[in-house]
Amino acid sequence: MPKDSGIGASSKRREDVRFLTGAGQYTDDINIHGQAYVHFLRSSIAHGRLNGVDTSTAETMPGVVRIFTGSDFEGVGGLPCGWQVTDRHGEPMQEPAHPVLAQGKVRHVGDPIAAIIADSPSQAIDAAEAIVVDLEELPAVVDMKEAVKNGATKVHDDLTSNLCYDWGFVEENKDAVGEAFEQAAHVTTLELVNQRLVANPMEPRVAIGNYNRANDESTLYTTSQNPHVIRLLMGAFVLGIPEHKLRVVAPDVGGGFGTKIFHYAEEAFCTFAARQINRAVKWTCSRSEAFMSDAHGRDHVTKIELALDADNNFTAIRTDTLANMGAYLSTFAPSVPTWLHGTLMAGNYKTPLIYVNVKAVFTNTVAVDAYRGAGRPEATFQLERLIDKTARELGVDPIALRRQNFITKFPYATPVAVEYDTGDYVATMDKLEQIADLSGFEARRKKSEADGQLRGLGINCYIEACGIAPSALVGQLGARAGLYDAATVRVNATGTISVMVGAHSHGQGHETSFPQVVAEMLGIDEGMIDIVHGDSSKIPFGMGTYGSRSIAVCGSAMVRATEKIITKAKKIASHLLEASEADIELKDGQFNVIGTDKSCAWGDVTLAAYVPHNYPLEEIEPGLEETAFYDPSNFTYPAGAYACEVEVDPATGKVTIERFSAADDFGNVINPMIVSGQVHGGIGQGIGQALLEHGIYDENGQLLSGSYMDYAMPRASDVPFFEVDHSCQTPCTHNPLGVKGCGEAGAIGTPPAVVNAVIDALHSGGHTHVTHIDMPVSPSRVWSAING
Amino acid sequence: MTTITMTVNGQLSSREVEGRTLLVDFLRNGLNLTGTHVGCDTSQCGACTVHVNGRAVKSCTMFAAEADGSCVQTIEGQSNVDGSLNVIQQAFQDNHGLQCGFCTPGMVMAAAELLKNNPKPSEADIRHHLEGNICRCTGYHNIVKSIMAASGQNFSAIAAE
Ligand code: FES
Ligand code: FES
């Protein structure tokens, strides 16, 4: 019987009621009395010397309050990067300055040059047209291979080159890996592109800065996945506002997918300007503007090689990647192609030797940073495409080749620095074979062929490192922050509870799932518990939501805080019941003296805590509120196996997804309905990457896919129903809930399954010369491959 | 500036607007009906979908002045009279048809139009009808399922076909 409440129940989402009735409060729904509006005048060229900005005419236009340019930000900090990577030679990465408004040069289409504040949005836009910018166009650096050549135009004149870092991992293994390749019985090589994507949460970014002269306090309302991180970065590094004078609020946020982790120039600008003009300043991003100002994702060019012995055991992997950073270093950009990518190159397989080289490159494009999966989809795509190609070259079954090389003993220390605590890759593959009805595939293929279509089956396995992250470890790896999380459990006199959590919900349903955990622990009704999130003035601290970390890290903090509550509540109960503390048990919201019929209710104890007439005041304080910080001791390692079946129309190259199945191991699951929804969404985005989406720049650095007219977002008719299963559960061994996290799995596991299926379809049609097609696998690319 | 009057969710409202004011801005800023969202500037995403005289319209593609004298329904007017969720809204909650909720008002308004004209749509009908509504969170799986459920059709029977 499925449970109807607590851990493991598919409780309906309580937040849905406000979203379904139009009562959600997103940042753009907030208006502050007397607010002004800012419009950013952005560069229309990719690279140019900024010789001057003449705002004199614009300043006289109706409604204009004030116009800011880069010179107004001299002496103000730039946007900081939160991660410093050390290169192969022990040197720190090259780290360019990133001013809030451009100074001296513009470095990508969309780089903000001036900010016009006016009484209305349209007045600000009108005035922007009257600004005269003296811009001398320079050659744009767009292609990464060109950018790293000697003598290439430099994006940043004060850096030695466009190379941010040259990272080798594990550097000490390099020679041994080379030897393994020399001794290999078979080597498969694949060159591929993991194309640039734009995250595109449906809510565009918004920022509202406000300043209160009475107490010298600044407030920023922003579309963020992590308000405390923004407070930390903006307060300490950009504007020099101490934490106690800076409040950051992220209310309902309409999706994030990584791109709302980062600290953006517009946030700093609105906070800064509100203080300057002593009036609230609001910025609402348009979708076109989002395409040229939100951090993009992926954008790797990779060569990967796999060495095998004569028995088809994997013996070594070697990769060479160029990773685009764009024009500036976004908050976590340097960590994505390194620590979130190189550490995952072992995948689900016991390959003893691995060497990963990554060169991060500056170009005249929008900054690239984490997008759903961040580094792990890139690692998985390379590895799983490569294994498929290997199986084809060797003439062996791709599932059998995977199974033969699976890691089967846990814990397992990979040669790329991480230790998987638990997993069962055989179980998820068995489950996949069943839910995807692989035994029926040949019959379905025959039917497709009878209709003149090519049918293909693509398999993929993935592993990811989630629950980001042990602070001591990431500190060694270059993180400039700790990655713990925090929760405060506040029990009120009547027994209702507010839990202040550092995680932020922007679609994940925390308002429903987090209370399920506390309800389970206390044995009280979920409806008595609310969570509070998204406001730095209400929550002790928090590092926010990304990297599938919310329930694994913040949920663990919440468990610890609840445990402290239970300990104290038992003390109070033992006093009320005149029994020894050791004899008290909490069950179904009742405190019982074990072995007797004496008991008191949850509400009796909570009331006593706040009305301490009969209370052990000499031993414990009144009140019932506890805070816990939780720093994980390891990452968590969700894993799974995915299958995709496609039909390819050989006449047009069009690919249709016919079936899609996912068998995941997320450890223990709090709310199965929400977990399935997370996987669906990830698969949707993975299919988008595989078949449709591409952030394309032309050779002059103009973004060609800069709106929904050109950037192909997946629509309802591009996807089928999905078959998802998460019944294989190997609980995480090092967090109290045994959870692993599920937010990114779909986006990681899907793209290789789709591409593998397309290649399989083409081979079944005799097009065996096609060994790889880069994403997006569009009809024109498929048609060209067939007819190439 | 011109003065326009329209009936929004059954209430008569009159406001001064600029000629260039879009219907969506009029609803959000003029009437403070912020349930209707703006997700793009190229009429592609459908987050702004409302009903004008009974037809689903992208309110970012229409000037407020063009809607002068018409009858407009937004997400705020969809609940039952007692305030409970209507059949479509309830089906979305029951089937986890939303995550961040940003596309949701547009999805509900689009679904309402579909079910009015086609009370028992097929899966393909639903997917086709949602062509102009983008959701980034759900992969559409549970949105399609919700609309099927709202039409009284058994999703598992259909999915098993
Ligand atoms: S806002 Fe109207 S279609 Fe996107
Ligand atoms: S629920 Fe977030 S965009 Fe649809």
Residue B154: the pLDDT is 77
Between positions 57 and 116 of B, the ones with CB within 8 A of A are 74-76, 78-79, 85, 89, 92-94, 96, 98-105, 108
Is the pLDDT at A322 greater than 50? The verdict is yes
Is the pLDDT at A620 greater than 70? The verdict is yes
Inter-residue contact A196 to A294 (CB < 8 Å): no
Is the pLDDT at A365 greater than 50? The verdict is yes
What does the longest C-alpha to C-alpha distance in chain B come to?
Answer: 57
Which letter does DSSP use for residue A612 in this model?
Answer: T
CATH no. of A16-22+484-630: 3.30.365.10
Q: With an 8 Å Cβ cutoff, is B53 touching chain A?
A: no
Is the pLDDT at B161 greater than 70? The verdict is no
**Residue A4 one-letter amino acid:** D
Q: Does the distance separating the beta carbons of B35 and A22 come in below 8 Å? A: yes
Which letter does DSSP use for residue A573 in this model?
Answer: H
Nearest residue, CB atoms, A20 vs list B36, B41, B85? B85
Pick the residue from chain B with its C-alpha nearest to A720: B141
Distance from Cα B38 to the centre of ligand 1, integer Å: 5
Q: With an 8 Å Cβ cutoff, is A783 touching chain B?
A: no
Is the pLDDT at B158 greater than 80? The verdict is no
Pinpoint the residues of chain A covered by CATH 3.90.1170.50: 31-138+216-255+260-285
Sign of the CA dihedral with A757 first, then A762, A765, and A768 last: negative
Distance from Cα B37 to the centre of ligand 1, integer Å: 8
Structural domain ending residue among the three candidates B38, B57, B77: B77
Q: Which of these, B118, B112, B130, B116, lies nearest to B44 by C-alpha position?
A: B130
- B1 falls in which pLDDT band (50, 70, 90)? confident
Average pLDDT value over all residues in chain A: 97
CATH code: domain of residue B50: 3.10.20.30
- A3 falls in which pLDDT band (50, 70, 90)? confident
Helices vs strands, H then E, count in chain A: 19, 28
Strands A655-665 and A723-725 come out as parallel
Distance between CA atoms of residues B124 and A545, nearest Å: 35
Distance from Cα B134 to the centre of ligand 2, integer Å: 8
Q: Tell whether B112 and B151 lie within a shared domain.
A: yes
- Joined together, the tokens standing for residue A346 give 């072992």
Mean pLDDT of A199-223: 98
Structural domain ending residue among the three candidates B77, B97, B119: B77
The distance of A359 to chain B (nearest Cα, Å) reads 31
Considering the domain boundaries, does residue B82 fall inside one? no
Q: Which of these, A456, A374, A418, A340, lies nearest to A747 by C-alpha position?
A: A374
Pick the residue from chain B with its C-alpha nearest to A225: B100
Q: Tell whether B46 and B105 lie within a shared domain.
A: no
- B157 falls in which pLDDT band (50, 70, 90)? low
Q: With an 8 Å Cβ cutoff, is A125 touching chain B?
A: no
Q: Tell me the backbone φ, ψ of residue A103, rounded to 5 degrees.
A: -130, 120
Distance from Cα A728 to the centre of ligand 1, integer Å: 41
CATH code: domain of residue B96: 1.10.150.120
Q: Tell whether B110 and B130 lie within a shared domain.
A: yes
Q: Tell whether B104 and B72 lie within a shared domain.
A: no
Q: Does the distance separating the beta carbons of B93 and A28 come in below 8 Å? A: no
Between positions 201 and 240 of A, the ones with CB within 8 A of B are 201-204
User: Which of the ligands is closest to the CA of residue A684?
Assistant: 2
Q: Whose CA is nearest to atom 4 of ligand 2?
A: B135
Ligand 2 mutation pick, A16, A20, A202, max ligand atoms within 8 A of CB = A202
Q: Which of B41, B75, B100 is the best substitution to test chain A (most A C-beta atoms within 10 A)?
A: B100
Residue A476: the pLDDT is 86
- Joined together, the tokens standing for residue A349 give 């397989």
- The model's pTM: 0.97
Q: With an 8 Å Cβ cutoff, is A681 touching chain B?
A: yes
Considering the domain boundaries, does residue B137 fall inside one? yes
Structural domain ending residue among the three candidates B53, B77, B101: B77
Is the pLDDT at A489 greater than 50? The verdict is yes
Q: Tell whether B91 and B57 lie within a shared domain.
A: no
Which residues in B lie closer than 8 A to residue A676 (C-beta atoms)?
Answer: 96
Is the pLDDT at B159 greater than 90? The verdict is no
Q: Tell whether B56 and B113 lie within a shared domain.
A: no
Q: Tell whether B128 and B151 lie within a shared domain.
A: yes
Q: Does the distance separating the beta carbons of B140 and A122 come in below 8 Å? A: no
Distance between CA atoms of residues A291 and B52, nearest Å: 30
Q: Give the up-direction half-sphere exposure of residue A671: CA atoms within 13 A in the CB hemisphere.
A: 26
Reply yes or no: is the peptide bond before residue A170 cis, omega within 30 of 0.
yes
Rounded (10°) angle between helices A602-610 and A555-577 = 90
Inter-residue contact A54 to A132 (CB < 8 Å): yes
Mean pLDDT of A139-165: 97
Q: Cα separations (Å) of A110 from A43, A47, A118, A556?
A: 5, 11, 20, 40
- A469 falls in which pLDDT band (50, 70, 90)? confident
Is the pLDDT at B160 greater than 80? The verdict is no
Give the residue carrying structure tokens 């992220």.
A250
Q: Which listed CATH number (3.40.50.10310, 3.60.21.10, 3.60.20.10, 3.90.1170.50) goes with A31-138+216-255+260-285?
A: 3.90.1170.50
Q: With an 8 Å Cβ cutoff, is B49 touching chain A?
A: no
Is it true that domain A297-469+634-787 has CATH number 3.30.365.10?
yes
Is the pLDDT at A611 greater than 50? The verdict is yes
Distance between CA atoms of residues A579 and A584, nearest Å: 8
* Ligand 2 neighbour B139 (Cβ under 6 A): no
Query: What residues flank ligand 1, with Cβ below 6 Å?
Result: B 38-40, 43-48, 58, 60
Distance between CA atoms of residues A583 and A597, nearest Å: 12
Which secondary-structure segment (H or E) carries A272?
A: helix A265-277
* Ligand 2 neighbour B47 (Cβ under 6 A): no
Residue B44: the pLDDT is 97
Distance between CA atoms of residues A452 and B62, nearest Å: 44
Q: Tell whether B112 and B150 lie within a shared domain.
A: yes
Distance between CA atoms of residues A29 and A503, nearest Å: 22
Give me the number of domains chain B comprises.
Answer: 2
User: Which of the ligands is closest to the CA of residue B102?
Assistant: 2
User: What domain range includes position B155?
Assistant: 87-160
List pLDDT tens digits, range A22-44: 999 999 999 999 999 999 999 99
Give the residue carrying structure tokens 């009370």.
B119
3-class secondary structure, A319:
strand
Which secondary-structure segment (H or E) carries A356?
A: strand A353-362
Q: Does the distance separating the beta carbons of B98 and A19 come in below 8 Å? A: yes
Cα angle at A472 between A521 and A545, to 5 degrees? Answer: 50
Is the pLDDT at A734 greater than 80? The verdict is yes
Number of Cβ atoms within 10 Å of the Cβ of A97: 13
Pinpoint the residues of chain A covered by CATH 3.30.365.10: 16-22+484-630, 297-469+634-787
Mean pLDDT of A542-550: 92
Distance from Cα B22 to the centre of ligand 1, integer Å: 11
Strands A497-501 and A529-532 come out as parallel
Inter-residue contact A662 to A679 (CB < 8 Å): yes
List pLDDT tens digits, range A50-99: 999 999 999 999 999 999 999 999 999 999 999 999 999 999 999 999 99
Q: Which of these, A304, A357, A294, lies nearest to A326 by C-alpha position?
A: A294
Which atom of ligand 1 lies closest to the CA of B59? Answer: 2
Q: Does the distance separating the beta carbons of B76 and A22 come in below 8 Å? A: yes
Q: What is the ipTM of this complex?
A: 0.97
- A4 falls in which pLDDT band (50, 70, 90)? confident
Distance between CA atoms of residues A38 and A125, nearest Å: 9
Residue A481: the pLDDT is 87
